[in-house]
Every structure is written in structure tokens, then in C-alpha cells.
Amino acid sequence: MALSDQEWGPLVQGLNSGLNVADFTAIDTNPFSGVSIAVGRRGYAARIDSSGINPVALPKGLNSGSTNARFTDVKFDLFQSLGEPTDVSWIAVAEDGYAAVSKDDGLTWSALERNLGLDVHVNFRGIGVGVPGIVIVGDDGYALFSDFSIGGVAWIQLPKGLNTGNEFVNFSSVSSSGYGIFIAVGENGTASFSNGGEEWIPITIPTGSDGVSENFTAIKGHGDIQEWVVVGDQGFSAVTYDGSFWFEGDRGLDTGNTNANFTDVYYAPDLNEWAVVADDGYASTKVGLVGFEWEPLDINIGTDAANYKGIVGTAQKWTVVADEGYAAVSPPLPPTLIAAFTFTTNVITVNFNASLSINVIAGSTIDLYEWTFGDGNTDSKATFSTSNVYADVGDYTVTLTITDSEGNTDSTSKVISLTQDVVASWVYEVMFPDVQFTDTTQDDFSQISQRTWTFGDGQQSNDTNPLHTYSAPGTYSASLSLLLVNGDTSLNAQTITIEAPVAKDINTWFPLPLGFAPNEYTPFFFQDITFGASNVVIAAGRGARTNGTHTTAMYRSENNGVDWIEFHPAAIDVSHPMLSFGTDNAGTWVSVGEYAHACVSFDDGFLWAVINDGMGHFPGTPSFQSVAYNNGTWITVGNDDGTISTSTDGVVWTGVNGTNSPIQQPAIVPNTLLRGVAGGPSSVWIAVGGDVFGGTDTASV
């Protein structure tokens, strides 16, 4: 039956490629297996088996090197020039030099070298497969050839423009008659001919009685008698019966639009039938020798104005693809509702997906997915995905039933097997003389019926995470043995070392180098040293005397005082010795010294900033002798009648006692020099010092 007499039916939109509105650009078929491959923009591609019922998504980008590859053509390697005789090969090309090949009838794909050896990125446009090998054409006159001897692995660059006289012509399509003849076509009526694929000569194809140079978009050759059809935009076509003499076909080829923009042409040898497709839903067919009297095609694809991009046909079926994911087949698929699902396991959770279920019943939609999981649990919903948490290992029969809007149903079942190898695992922590043992075995299905711990000292336990006390330090062989509910066992043995803590001898001291890091600031004497958080220690003192004034010498350690570096933050005036440091052990430090000089650091004593001079007293006075932090409060003390200042953040200070303080404390006698301050429990503070003129010692609380 002629194609024009057959009905068409839509295929699932998007062909399950991953995007329902994928813009397909090309399709080809393996006439032996009936498998078709459709490719499109943004890397989407699908494999359609001989039934056409269940298209399957291929890897986005076909592993070409770009998941968003803009594919332009795909061809079945009818003459096996891509690999070994046992290979069933396909090749797909795209813009920006991407290409991929499959050698197992489109199931798996791998990348070809980008640009196929060229040193520029080429927008590939068309593939021609013939007895001598494969020709690929693209923009800017680029073309390549690969023959049997190099198996599609190495490619030969052909003359730019294929000797058409325009090295930068944009080719659109290339085809082979199957007997060594190739013809490539492109913009502005460009065409070139080769017998063998390597040597090319320009040919002239009539481009319309109106004298306009047409843009050729597709060409197809029939090998038996060198019959060729070339199509283009504005309804143009040309045909030849012998490969040498060409004549112009009827405008629009009886599609119903004399200005149809043709996109593809195909010849099905086992049907002796031609077909052409165009944008805006136009298509036609011709049985026998090409020429006049084509028949329009009414393709039921799901829309009246599909931009058709590719068509292929065999004795079993014809298939057409278009923009926005539309595709159709002739003869149409029988009304079919097929339930199908996949699943993935994550230990005890199994995720189910029924998106591969098929509905080829016109006007209906799948409205309900009903699941039984084989463990007594069920689910029913309008969406195709669900999950189930299993309580035990074992084999479970899972059944999916789908129902469409017309009440039609279909069911399918699968057996899933859930297993988990329970392997004993444990860790321990020594807290001499105790050791905490912790079972870390993964047992999501509660397969452990008993644990037996042996500690290597003759003692045992059946607890899950026992705490064991050893009588003496030493090396012990400990183990965890698991008994599972099915009778299997698992053993994990480890050697552990128990060491008693070493007592610190505070009576043993060793000297550090003078000044820690001797130089011009080597202190005459240190004033203070303070431990902070993160192993930080800061020490300071009076350095070398310059013009009668001591300088500041500061040192910082980040490993508990083992190694030291001398530093002089810009905020600290080296002419004003810093006499004391305090820290809240949370990163904040305060430093105070002579002439009311004070600084604060918020990064564990690395960067410093000057605090307001005087810290609540007149600038330049007094000299602060000590600073400390306790329970949210900072306090610093000094001379000038018992100077005391307080702060809650180390930045803003208030003077509460002293000659220049707004608040006077009668407990502090005049002329008192306070040298030390410390905070204790319940916010108790004690300050100590003495009479400036050698009088009595002083303490205040």
C-alpha cells in the first residue's frame, strides 16, 4: 500500500527522550533490525525499537563531550565502515565539532574526537554513508572522509568547499547512492560530486525558472539506477534519473504549498517509495521513479502545523520527527496501554518509577497508578513515582496497575530481591581505666539476634555498646561476634592498646631562649604571659630603652609556647610598654599598659585595634597594670589613686575609681597603685596593690 493511502498515528511526545518538547532535527533507521534513532537540539535523543511502542531515552548528548550538543544529523552505518563486520554502528554529528558513535545498534554511545581532527570548531551538518566510507559536511566549506581501512577512527580533511569555487560555503546535506557516488549540497545552489568520497568536482543543479539561487537543504540518492532527489527552501526540488542530467521538479512537490521549506527527503528501497517533509506540516510521497505527480501526506502527528525535520521508512513502518517533540508513525500503532516500571534500591528504601508506561489510545491519559509492594503495603496515586520502606530482607513481588481516562487498565509485576550483608564493625575510645566499645555494624533490616564481646582479659559482654574497665594497662585482643537471625555469624577482632595517663611533673622546667626570638626588642624583663584558646599564648614586656623610654616587646605562640614569633601590631605603640593581657578564651583579647594605652583583638591576638585612650579616664593617664575577664565582665586596674575601669565587650569602658574617675570608691585609699586583678566565682573580684610612696600594701574586693 502506498504511503499516501496509509494512516498515521502520533508517537509519545518527546519520544521519552527526557523532554516532551525536545526539538528533533534528524532520524534514521536500521532496515535490518527496525531500530530508529532520533536526535535533536540540547543533546536529546531517543531509540525507537521495531514496534515503535516504547521509545527509550539515550544519554543526553550521546556521551559526545557535551550534554547539550546540538545534533544536526544521525545515520546508520549500512556498509559497516565504522568498525568491525560484527558491529552494528551508528554515527551522530552536532554543532561545535561534537560527534558520537554507537556499535551496538544505538544502545550505548561514545565520543569521537572533537572536530574529527580539525583544528577549528566546526558546525557539522550532514552525514553520507556509502560503500567507500563516510563523508561529513559542515559550515564554512569543511568536509571530511573516513574509509573502511581506518574504521571511522581517523578522518581525512577534504578540500574546503569541495572544489565548488567557494571555500566558505555552508553545506547542509550529503548523501551516497550506495555504490561509491556522493553528492553534497548547500546554500545558494552549491553542489559537488565525488566517485569514491575523496576527489570532488562541482556540478550544476537547476535552481528554478525564476533565476533565484536556492538554498539546498537535503539530498537523497537511490543506488540501483543513480536516482537522486534534492530539495530546498521556497518549494524547490530537482531530480535526476541517471546522476548526470537534472531537471527541476514541481514547486512544492504537491504538498499543498508551492513555497514549502523542505527539510528532508528519504527513499525506502524495499517499498520503492520516496517521501519529502517540510516545515508547517507539509509533506508528500511518490511511488516509483521520481518526477512529477507526488501525493500529499496527511500526517497525524498531534498538531496541524508541525515543523517536520526528518523522515525514514521501511517495509514495516514510516516514522517522522519534528520540532517540540512531535513524532508520528505509519501505520499507526494499535490502541495500546502498557504498564511498565523501573526501581532503584537504597538499602531498605526502594524507589519505583512508572514513567515508561505507554498509552497509545487516542484521546486518553493515564490517570491512576496503583501499587502493591509484596509486603502488605500499597499505594495509589495520579503520579508515576512512589517508594516503599521494607522491614526485612527477602524476595517481594511488586505489581503496578495503570488506569486511563477511558477506564482501560493494564498490569505488570516484577520480583525484587532485597539483601544486606551484615559485617561486624566497631570502634573504641580509651578513658583509662575504662574503654567505651561502640558497635558500628550496618543492620538496617535488624538481622542481628545476639552480640558477644570479648575484651581480651577474660571478660565478655552481650551489651550493644559496653563500657569495660581494665585492671591494668597493656595490649589486648578484643572482638565482636554477631549471630544473625538466619544462623550466619560475623566476627571482627582488633588489637587495642590501653595506656595509663602520664602524670605531669610541674616541678620540671626548661628554659626558653632569651627573649624567645632575640633581636633589638629583646626584653629587659617580661611583664605578663597569658594562655588563650586554640593553643595561643601571648607574652610581653619592657624592651630596649630608647631616649629614656622602654619599648614594648611582644611574642605570640600558636602551639602552647613551644615556638614563638615576635610581632608588633600597628595599633600598639612600641614606646608604651604593654604590661598585661586578658582573654575571654573565645577569641577576644585586651592589652593594657603605660600612659593609658590599651588595645583589643577579636581574632585570638593577631590583629589589634586601639581602645579609646584613657578607658574612661583622662587621656594619657593613668598607667594600667593588669586586666582580666570573668563571667561577662572585663576589669583593668592601675595607678592614680587606685584606677579601675570596667567593660562588657572590651571596647567601651567606664572608669569607676581613681583620681580622674567619675565614680569614687572609698575602699581604695589615696595614692594606691593597683597592680593585679582577678575574678572568681559568683562575680567576685579582688584587686591588689600598694602605696605609691612605700606605705602599706593594699587589697580591695
**234 and 131, same structural domain?**
yes
Within a domain: 517: no
C-alpha cell at position 223: 543506488
Question: Cell numbers 546535506 correspond to what residue?
Answer: 173
Q: Position 569: which residue type?
A: P
Give the closest residue to 46 by CA, choosing from 12, 6, 8, 83: 12
Question: Cell numbers 484521546 correspond to what residue?
Answer: 363
Predicted pLDDT at 247: 86
**227 and 199, same structural domain?**
yes
Decide the pairing of beta strands 295-296 and 283-287: antiparallel
Pairwise CA distance, residues 286 & 227, whole Å: 13
Pairwise CA distance, residues 43 & 60, whole Å: 5
Domain hosting residue 550, numbered range: 525-700
Q: Position 55: which residue type?
A: P
C-alpha cell at position 468: 569495660
Decide the pairing of beta strands 474-484 and 448-454: antiparallel
Predicted pLDDT at 447: 84
Can you give the length of the chain in residues? 701
Pairwise CA distance, residues 524 & 12, whole Å: 90
Give the closest residue to 176 by CA, choosing from 159, 195, 161: 195
Domain count along the chain: 4
Predicted pLDDT at 346: 79
Q: Which residues of the chain have pLDDT under 70?
A: 1-2, 4, 81, 83, 86, 148-153, 208-213, 224-225, 290-292, 362, 502-524, 543-551, 568-576, 612-621, 641, 658-671, 691-701
**559 and 584, same structural domain?**
yes
Q: How many helices (H) and strands (E) does the chain have?
A: 0, 59
**Domain CATH number, residue 361:** 2.60.40.10
The Cβ of residue 628 has, within 10 Å, a number of other Cβ atoms equal to 22
Q: How far does the chain reach from its first CA to its final CA, in angstroms?
A: 113
Within a domain: 307: yes
What phi and psi, each to the nearest 5 degrees, are found at residue 658? 130, 170
Pairwise CA distance, residues 71 & 24, whole Å: 9
Strand-pairing partners, residue 566, are: 555
Instruction: Let me know: does 639 contact 618? Beta carbons within 8 Å.
Output: no
Within a domain: 512: no
Pairwise CA distance, residues 229 & 226, whole Å: 10
**Domain CATH number, residue 662:** 2.130.10.10
**68 and 126, same structural domain?**
yes
Q: What is the DSSP letter of 254?
A: G
Within a domain: 472: yes
The Cβ of residue 644 has, within 10 Å, a number of other Cβ atoms equal to 26
pTM of structure: 0.57
Question: Cell numbers 567601651 correspond to what residue?
Answer: 652
**233 and 357, same structural domain?**
no
Instruction: Let me know: does 686 contact 699? Beta carbons within 8 Å.
Output: yes
Within a domain: 516: no
Predicted pLDDT at 503: 60
Instruction: Let me know: does 598 contact 645? Beta carbons within 8 Å.
Output: no
Q: Is the dihedral of CA 100, 102, 108, 112 positive or negative?
A: negative
Q: pLDDT, tens digit, for every residue of 599-622?
A: 888 888 778 888 765 666 666 567
**209 and 91, same structural domain?**
yes
Pairwise CA distance, residues 426 & 164, whole Å: 76
The Cβ of residue 6 has, within 10 Å, a number of other Cβ atoms equal to 14
C-alpha cell at position 183: 553528492
389, 418, 447 - which closes a domain: 418
CA 357 to chain centre: 29
**155 and 34, same structural domain?**
yes
**579 and 564, same structural domain?**
yes
**438 and 413, same structural domain?**
no
Exposure string over 411-424, b if 16+ CB within 10 A, otherwise e? eeeeebebeeebeb
What phi and psi, each to the nearest 5 degrees, are found at residue 411? -130, 155
Within a domain: 474: yes
**147 and 162, same structural domain?**
yes
Within a domain: 518: no
275, 296, 330 - which closes a domain: 330
Q: Is the peptide bond before 518 cis (omega within 30 degrees of 0)?
A: no
Within a domain: 519: no
